[in-house]
Amino acid sequence: MNGEITLEGGWRIYSSGPGIYIGIIVTRLLGLRIELGNVIIDPVMPYSLDGFKARIEVLGRTLTLIYHVREGNYGPKHIVINGIEASAGEEENPYRRGGAVLETEVFLAMPEKGENRVDIYL
């Protein structure tokens, strides 16, 4: 109220509204999580978002994520990073096909400058 606390856009980004909203978009819609030295890609998207693109920074790298929602709308079948098929494990999920599990080293090996393209095929 008296201007002593720095706010971003009038909100504390980590608190309630915007922080929760951004967290849901990144972890649920885009399906990105970092857990135990791995990057998990586990989106759940409607078919209407086929071709959806999002630009995000992950581990200091700028990524352009392109979602190909054609055969299914969850559980990546394969991921292509900068034109090369990525080797990924599958996260356990008792209810549906799990997300793709990639080691953080895959992302840390990407160029820090410029954009990195990540095609996610569902």
Q: Please give the residue range of the domain that contains residue 46.
A: 16-121
Say if 70 falls within a structural domain: yes
Say if 43 falls within a structural domain: yes
Say if 115 falls within a structural domain: yes
Q: What pLDDT, on the 0 to 100 scale, is given for residue 9?
A: 52
Count structural domains, the chain: 1
- For the chain, the 3-state helix, strand and coil shares in percent, each to the nearest 5, are 20, 35, 45
Say if 56 falls within a structural domain: yes
Q: What pLDDT, on the 0 to 100 scale, is given for residue 2?
A: 57
Say if 35 falls within a structural domain: yes
46-78 pLDDT, tens per residue?
Answer: 999 999 999 999 999 999 999 999 999 999 999
Band of the pLDDT at 18, cuts 50, 70, 90? confident
Contact between 31 and 40 under an 8 Å Cβ cutoff? The reply is yes
Say if 5 falls within a structural domain: no
pTM > 0.75: yes
- How much of the chain, in percent, has pLDDT values that exceed 70? 87
CATH of the domain at 72: 2.60.420.10
Band of the pLDDT at 15, cuts 50, 70, 90? low
Say if 8 falls within a structural domain: no
